[in-house]
Amino acid sequence: MRDELSGPARVAEPDEAISYEELALAARNHALPLEALRYDVTPVGMHYLLTHFDIPDIDPDSYVLTIGGRVRRPLRLDLAALRARERVTHRVTMECAGNGRALLQPRPVSQPWLTGAVGTAEWTGTPLAPLLREAGPATDAVDVVFTGADHGVERGVAQDYQRGLPVTEALREEMLLAYEMNGAALPPQHGAPVRLVAPGWYGMAHVKWLREITVLDEEFDGFQNTVAYRLRQDPDEPGEPVTRIEPRALVRPPGYPDFMSRARVVPPGRCVLDGRAWSGHAPVSRVEVTTDGGASWVEATLDAGDGPPWAWRRWWYEWHAPPGRHTLSARATDATGRTQPLAQPWNRGGFANNLVQRVDVFVTDTPAAPPASI
């Protein structure tokens, strides 16, 4: 295996174009088409998708989930046993920690997301905490490791996809072993037959194709916790772990697009701008909008705050669009006061880049006249 495949994650040269390898990843792992921000719940095929290795082939009839490690009573559960337990549904907005990576300068070389690595689904399954309590974690339990059935090599390290969570997080009541998505059986690409849903956490924690849950009396030192998913400036530093979703708002692109540039064409006059805003730390409490590239910000209206706590909120703002070129953005702030930066939050992995999105629009002189070129 070449050295560059086993070394630290690479950062592209300042003028280095996207490679075929990144293109191949981008085609396997698709984004939410931004017009799908119109839906409260994202239709399954429009939800973003991210899979490190291959989608494994699991026979639901012989599927068994084990719960073991530092527990008093190890458990083995087949699908029927999981389905017979308490059944709950949570509406959860999930976002990949790498969302926004390809917009960073310099660009960390990995799945090259723009802004669409997000989606909201209704996940149905059984809560994890009662099962963990039944197994009885030892009093010295530290981390709970979730192992998927998928296997591959990442930077020279052969591995099953595994992620650890602190035991206090794993025991939170909203953690779910999900077997349905939007009211239908979990599809293969989203983790069939059972996945973890960890509301509030970036996507990497929501382990798909879950086959084993292991309680440890020490911190988990697996690749996806200690090598990948760390916020680092230098390759040698240990870095901080990537955990919960930073606040972000997206604009549902108005008008209609130019095929190549995706720039928007909008007729002049009244234009309701809208989109979604979310945070994994606390509910979003405020969304501001700019229609002049950030020179001035105005308050958007947020929908009623009584929706599900882990799902995005819709926001809207009535714009009177003057002819010409404009850059639109929205900026979310959550109840903890966290907000979105106006300068890129750069790190070597390209994680948690919640820099405000920029949407370029061309407002025509008359409702009927598209531009010759934009």
Residue pair 286/332 in contact by the 8 Å Cβ criterion: yes
119 binds Mo ion (CB under 5 A): no
Whichever of 84 and 157 has its CB closer to Mo ion, that residue is 157
Q: What share of the chain is helix, strand, coil (3-state, %, to 5)?
A: 15, 35, 50
Q: What amino acid occupies position 371?
A: P
Residue 48 interacts with ligand MTE (CB under 6 A)?
yes
Q: What residues numbered 59-118 form the site for ligand MTE, per CB under 6 A?
A: 94, 96
Sheet holding 256-257, edge to edge: 256-257, 264-266, 359-363, 324-334, 284-290, 298-299
Nearer to ligand MTE among residue 136 and residue 187 (C-beta): 187
**Smallest separation, CB 203 to Mo ion (Å):** 4
Q: Which one of residues 206, 314, 326, 331 is an interface residue with ligand MTE (CB under 6 A)?
A: 206
Between 317 and 351, name the residue whose CB sits nearer to ligand MTE: 351
Question: Stretches 198-206, 282-290, 321-329, 352-360: which one binds ligand MTE (CB under 6 A)?
Answer: 198-206
Residue closer to Mo ion (CB basis): 60 or 345: 345
Gap between the terminal Cα atoms of the chain: 45
Q: CB–CB of 36/312 below 8 Å?
A: no
Instruction: For the sheet with 210-216, list strands across it.
Output: 75-78, 64-69, 210-216, 143-154, 157-166
37 binds, options ligand MTE, Mo ion, none, Cβ within 5 to 8 A by partner type: none
Q: CA-to-CA distance for 357 and 102, rounded, in angstroms?
A: 12
207 touches ligand MTE by CB under 6 A? yes
User: Can you tell me which of 108, 125, 148, 283 binds ligand MTE, judged by CB under 6 A?
Assistant: 148
**Of 208, 134, 210, 126, residue with least CA distance to 173:** 126
Residues 338, 315: Cα–Cα separation, whole Å: 18
Q: Which is nearer to Mo ion, 50 or 271 (CB)?
A: 50
| Binding flag, residue 203, ligand MTE (CB under 6 A) | yes
Residue 37 or residue 50: which is nearer to Mo ion going by CB?
A: 50
Is residue 230 within 8 Å of 241, Cβ to Cβ? yes
Q: Provide the token pair at 337.
A: 């006061």
Q: Is residue 223 within the footprint of ligand MTE (CB under 6 A)?
A: no
49 part of the interface to Mo ion, by CB under 5 A: no
Q: In the complex, which residues of this chain contact Mo ion (CB under 5 A)? A: 50, 96, 203-204
Q: In the complex, which residues of this chain contact ligand MTE (CB under 6 A)? A: 47-52, 94, 96, 148, 150, 161, 190, 203-204, 206-209
